[in-house]
Amino acid sequence: MSGATWRPIPVNFTANGQEAVYGVVVHIMAGTLAGTDSWFRNSKAQASSHFGTGKAGALYQWVDTKDRAWAQASGNRTWISVENEGQGGDVLTDAQLQRVAEVLAWAHKVHGVPLQVASSPSGRGLGYHAMGGAAWGGHTSCPGTKIVAQLPEIVRRAKALTGQTPDKPSAPAPAKPVVDLSKLISAAKTDPRAAQGHTTYAAGVRIVEAALKAEGLLSARYAGDGSFGSVTVQAYAAWQRSKAGGSYRGASADGIPGLSSLRKLAARHGFTVTA
């Protein structure tokens, strides 16, 4: 591969043994680039990889892709491999992300590897060691969940390198409003006049009031003031008695929010509850 430093190893590979190239498999070294380079040259290692990256951006190629490297057991015949300097639990550095993207873009041009994330040995694209399970050596923590989460970014960069339109990074979902149950109970038991303006729970009260209003249980006149007064208590009691709220009866429908009924309200109106 042009752009990689060619450091051929004399042992630990199968000459002309690559039967196909389904994609590129990402690994973590659990060590350094220099240490891995030295280990692959030792016949006792019985291990190798086609490529390897360093945290600062070095890219080595140890094995020609017509030859079979020994990186992922039964996956060696049909996948090429890239080891990455670091330890389990690490993320790839920006330089490593770019280098792996270059390998993937090259594999796309030379071997027809599709620019997509793969999740199983029968797939095609950019995969990871753990996806092969026991057949690939049972390395369930290689390269680690943090690096697996980076695979879409590598694909995005590879698409840019090959002139394709990269997928736009997904916008993070807006955070759901959170209601603290303990503060809401405090509000419900407090005198309405004392509750006014207490920001520690007023925001949560307003969220619940808006939900009760949407359920048709609380007049707009009382919704949104941040005070869990007697009218809101009555409205919440009506929610508790409703089928959707839990069909509570008697003392169980006292208008004071409990975890079960509040979570039912949250599920219908897009907020979350902390106990």
- In this prediction, residue 204 carries a pLDDT of 86
Residue 191 has pLDDT above 90, yes or no: no
Residue 147 has which token pair?
């690096």
Helix axis angle for 181-189 and 230-241, nearest 10°, is 120
Higher-pLDDT residue of 63, 198: 63
Distances (CA, A) of 255 to 7, 16, 238, 241: 73, 75, 8, 9
Return the exposure string of 230-244: e unless at least 16 CB atoms fall within 10 Å of the residue's CB, then b.
Answer: ebbbebbbbbbbbee
- In this prediction, residue 253 carries a pLDDT of 94
Percent of the chain with pLDDT over 90: 77
Predicted confidence band of residue 238 (pLDDT cuts 50, 70, 90): very high
Residue 163 gets the label, from left (phi > 0), alpha (psi -120 to 50) or beta, of left
Residue 98 has pLDDT above 60, yes or no: yes
Residue 199 has pLDDT above 60, yes or no: no
Residue 274 DSSP label: E
Question: How much is the average pLDDT of 45-68?
Answer: 97
- In this prediction, residue 197 carries a pLDDT of 44
Predicted confidence band of residue 218 (pLDDT cuts 50, 70, 90): very high
Residue 130 has which token pair?
């753990």
Question: How much is the average pLDDT of 211-216?
Answer: 93
Query: For residue 130, which of 26, 213, 18 has the smallest C-alpha distance?
Result: 26
Residue 194 has pLDDT above 50, yes or no: no
- In this prediction, residue 53 carries a pLDDT of 98
Which residue is associated with the tokens 């979350």? 272
- In this prediction, residue 192 carries a pLDDT of 52
Computed over every residue of the chain, the mean pLDDT equals 91
Residue 124 has pLDDT above 60, yes or no: yes
Indicate the helix (H) or strand (E) that contains 273.
strand 272-274
String of DSSP letters for 83-145: EESB-TT----HHHHHHHHHHHHHHHHHH---SSB--STTS-EEEEGGGGGGGGT--TTSS-H
Residue 43 has pLDDT above 60, yes or no: yes
Residue 53 has which token pair?
């990256």
Where are the extended beta strands (E) located within 9-58?
13-14, 23-26, 51-53
- In this prediction, residue 116 carries a pLDDT of 96
Question: How much is the average pLDDT of 107-135?
Answer: 95
Peptide bond into 121 cis (omega under 30): no
CB 231, CB 255: distance < 8 Å: no
pLDDT, tens digit (0-9, with 9 covering 90-100), for 144-174:
999 999 999 999 999 999 998 877 666 676 7
